[in-house]
A and B are shown apart, each in its own frame.
Chain A
Amino acid sequence: MVRLGDVIATSTGTFTAQCYELYHSPALGDLVKTNGHYPTFGVVYNIYTGGLDPTRKPTARGQNEEKEEDVYNNNPQLKHLLRTDFEAIIVGHKMGSEMLYHLPPVPPPIYSFVHTCDEEDTKPIISNMSVLRTLATSNLEAIEEVISAYIRNGFKYQLDNTEFLKTVGVHLISNLPGELKKVEYILKRVTR
């Protein structure tokens, strides 16, 4: 379990965390969890990097550099002027030792630590199809891509990927009625 950052904004269904290190965010579709009274689980759906001070936009600096890395190497202050944030959609929480697949009574507090999830956390979540419903019915941007990535992450815990895809597919279809093409698109992204 790696600590990634702290919660810096939170609401009923999503939370935002800031990474401790620039660019050290989890990947799209990854499961993350917060500490706190109700350890809360989320799927990363948005990653954002920008200036520490939102009123000051980064400016171009690479014109006289050979390589991209040199921009950072020659401007060590940049690491402190830029930040990486990520946002996660809440898919469940823990009450004591019990995993519940609905929203926690209150969202995680600001400055909760955010961690990656290990196998023990991930396995049951991946095999719980109601998570797909939470994702599929949210109106978040590019959610298809997020679902594809989320499913792909699940592969490493499966004995038979095809069977897993079929199960997932059937659930997606029933949660996205009339949107067969969307389901097809999601499943295609998983394998390609």
Chain B
Amino acid sequence: MTTDNPVGNYLGLVIGGSLNQGVDVLLDPEADIEGIGGGQQVVIQGKNMRFFGIITDITLQSTDQSIKTNPPDLSDPVMASITSKAAMYATIRVIMALTISGTISDSDPPKPARNIPNHFSKVYLASDEDINMVFGSEDQRHFWIGTPPDLESRVRLNLEEFVKRSNGVFGKSGTGKTFLTRLLLIGIVQKNTAVNLVFDMENEYGWAGSFEGPGSVKGLKNLFPSKVAVFSLDEYYSRRRNITPDYLVKIGYNEIEPEDIEILRENLNLSSVAADACYTLRDVYGKDNWIKKLIALDREALQELSNKNNLNLMALSTLQNRIRGLTRFSFLEEKSTGRLVEQILDNIDAGKHIVLEFGGFKDNLDAYILVTNLLTRRIHSMYAERADAAMGDESIMPKPLVITIEEAHKFLNQGIASQTVFGTIAREDRKRRVTLLIVDQRPSGIDDEVMSQLGTKLSCLLDNEKDVDSVMSGASGSRELRSVLSKLESKQQSLIFGHSVPMPIVVKVRDFGTPESYSTLMGPDEKPDTAETLEELEQDRQDFFGKE
């Protein structure tokens, strides 16, 4: 390796450590300890190879234990100077992530580190050049997601790898999950590696406009009007905002299945007996009519039904009550008139990305869970059928589909993950072509098995122990990375690790919301793949900014 490290990046020397727990580096007295942070990337020049690692801890030490209890007189400049020089020292702990044996090339990519550097190997902060070398350069798969703190270089995600597995975005409230997710979705649109289906509970991904007050930012539809279709559950909400959704969502009672009520059990506060009754009702009244019939029953009829089918009357009556509540949703109608699922699939086939806005049902978890579950179940089964039918023939395989859900623990908690379609998708192999992008602020609420199956995790600050544990489960070096995760900035900073990055890295997430950000994101930021998309993009630009 010939890469020279800038002298200013010199940190110190390796003085000990282990592969599992990381190596200890004696910090050079000249190094600026306050400028060094957990999560920063470092490069270690070993004898035969270069190592990439991450700082996981910084420790102040002294050669003299009495310093703590009986410190010298530090008002004396000589004492102060010599004590800090000779009696105090700092070490940093670095876990090894990658090794590079020569110059990086496709035939010799960085490898996961299975070695550690020699004693007294020199350690440097990674430079922009190093980051670029490891995180790839601009191409059709790599999407710029952010920069390491204190550096300018771009950290890129391999979005082709990304969409092969289910992934997760985590972080406590207000840390930037939605912004990060939006960037990921934009990346997928831009790089054209999959089709998105976004269940947009808070109306944050599709449309947005200045009328929403300060702080509002553009959505996918604003940026890529010709590539995105917005489905809305709430006509009035859209109309109030002067937006015409591409489609209005109407769902018939006949499309609701017992499984849809089952997943709502906790939210509706239903006993399992009551939820189970749905299956009996379906058998009794038939799959198209059971809801319609149930909500129409009067007391006597309910009593009779209970006696006849040996169903608990109390449970039945609660169930009726709750389902009546659901049927008040304006997007539900007695008999489905539209072909919602077909419309969605048609759009997907046309290569369009879909954002399903909940409009005025924002924050209504019942509506969100009901619709998301119902649609995902049906789309997944049709998609999987097609994928299976293609029997691995790439030319007729459907394009990978990424389904984005917020409040993911509602769909994937320990109790239901094994029964819901979401659990199935998260666990099933990538040949089915459907994956999830789950967004959640309480990852500990999500089934462990699902968490450990996620391909790439992007986590903003988490401070709850359990949440940190669940995000780190299964990651190598997780014990050391934990501390990095709980010390991220409170906004717009994320630890990314997993299949689509060569090594774990902390990034300051790319700015979103400024005119420059829009223009780089929607423009041919990094060479679009075909002339056609270039034209489309240009069209989108003009729609957005007006003709120059």
Residues of A within 8 A of B (CB): 162, 165-166, 169-170, 173-174, 177-181, 183-184, 187
B78–A187 CB distance below 8 A: yes
B77–A180 CB distance below 8 A: no
B66–A173 CB distance below 8 A: no
Report the stretch among B67-75, B158-166, B217-225, B283-291 that lies at the interface: B67-75
Tell me the nearest residue of chain A to B70, going by C-beta: A181
Within 8 A of A (CB), among B77-117: 77-79, 81-83, 85-87
A8 to B183, CA, bound (A): 89
B65, B79, B85: the one within 8 Å of A187 (CB): B79
Instruction: From B66, B73, B82, name the one whose CB has the most chain A CB atoms within 10 angstroms.
Output: B82
A180–B78 CB distance below 8 A: no
Which residues of chain A have C-beta atoms less than 8 A from B70's C-beta?
Answer: 181
A184–B73 CB distance below 8 A: yes
A172 to B270, CA, bound (A): 76
A181 to B72, CA, bound (A): 7
CB distance from A54 to the nearest CB of B (A): 42
Tell me the nearest residue of chain B to A170, going by C-beta: B86
A181–B78 CB distance below 8 A: no
Tell me the nearest residue of chain A to B65, going by C-beta: A178
A174 to B87, CA, bound (A): 8
A166–B63 CB distance below 8 A: no
Cβ of B64 under 8 Å from chain A: yes
Which label, helix, strand, loop or mixed, suits the secondary structure of the B interface? helix
Instruction: From A170, A173, A179, name the one whose CB has the most chain B CB atoms within 10 angstroms.
Output: A173
CB distance from B75 to the nearest CB of A (A): 12
Q: A180-B72, A180-B87 are in contact. Are A173 and B63 (CB under 8 A)?
A: yes
CB distance from B346 to the nearest CB of A (A): 77
A184–B72 CB distance below 8 A: yes
B81–A166 CB distance below 8 A: yes
A181 to B66, CA, bound (A): 8
A165, A173, A178: the one within 8 Å of B86 (CB): A173
Which label, helix, strand, loop or mixed, suits the secondary structure of the A interface? helix
A187 to B78, CA, bound (A): 9
A184 to B70, CA, bound (A): 12
Which residues of chain A have C-beta atoms less than 8 A from B67's C-beta?
Answer: 180
B72–A162 CB distance below 8 A: no
A118 to B66, CA, bound (A): 40
Tell me the nearest residue of chain A to B73, going by C-beta: A184
A173–B82 CB distance below 8 A: yes
Given A177-B63, A180-B67, A181-B66, 11 extra CB contacts under 8 A: A162-B77, A166-B82, A169-B82, A170-B82, A173-B82, A177-B64, A178-B63, A178-B64, A179-B64, A180-B83, A183-B82
A170 to B542, CA, bound (A): 68
Which residues of chain B have C-beta atoms less than 8 A from A165's C-beta?
Answer: 78
A187 to B76, CA, bound (A): 11
Tell me the nearest residue of chain B to A161, going by C-beta: B78
CB distance from B82 to the nearest CB of A (A): 4
Which residues of chain B have C-beta atoms less than 8 A from A162's C-beta?
Answer: 77-78
A181 to B65, CA, bound (A): 11
B86–A174 CB distance below 8 A: yes
Which residues of chain B have C-beta atoms less than 8 A from A181's C-beta?
Answer: 66, 70, 72
Within 8 A of A (CB), among B208-222: none
Q: A173-B83, A173-B87, A174-B86 are in contact. Are A180 and B66 (CB under 8 A)?
A: yes
A165 to B78, CA, bound (A): 7
A169–B66 CB distance below 8 A: no
Q: Which 9 A-B pairs have the closest CB atoms?
A: A169-B82, A173-B86, A180-B64, A170-B86, A184-B72, A165-B78, A170-B82, A178-B64, A166-B81
Q: Report 22 cross-chain contacts, Cβ distance below 8 Å, ordered by A residue.
A: A162-B77, A169-B81, A169-B82, A170-B85, A173-B83, A173-B86, A173-B87, A177-B63, A178-B63, A178-B64, A178-B65, A179-B64, A180-B64, A180-B72, A180-B83, A180-B87, A181-B66, A181-B70, A181-B72, A184-B72, A184-B73, A187-B79
A177 to B73, CA, bound (A): 18
CB distance from A136 to the nearest CB of B (A): 13
A181 to B78, CA, bound (A): 14
CB distance from A175 to the nearest CB of B (A): 10
B77–A169 CB distance below 8 A: no
Which residues of chain A have C-beta atoms less than 8 A from B65's C-beta?
Answer: 178
Q: A173-B63, A178-B64, A180-B87 are in contact. Are A166 and B72 (CB under 8 A)?
A: no
A169, A177, A178: the one within 8 Å of B79 (CB): A169
CB distance from B104 to the nearest CB of A (A): 42
Which residues of chain A have C-beta atoms less than 8 A from B86's C-beta?
Answer: 169-170, 173-174
Instruction: From A165, A169, A177, A180, name the one whose CB has the most chain B CB atoms within 10 angstroms.
Output: A180
A180 to B69, CA, bound (A): 12
A180 to B88, CA, bound (A): 11
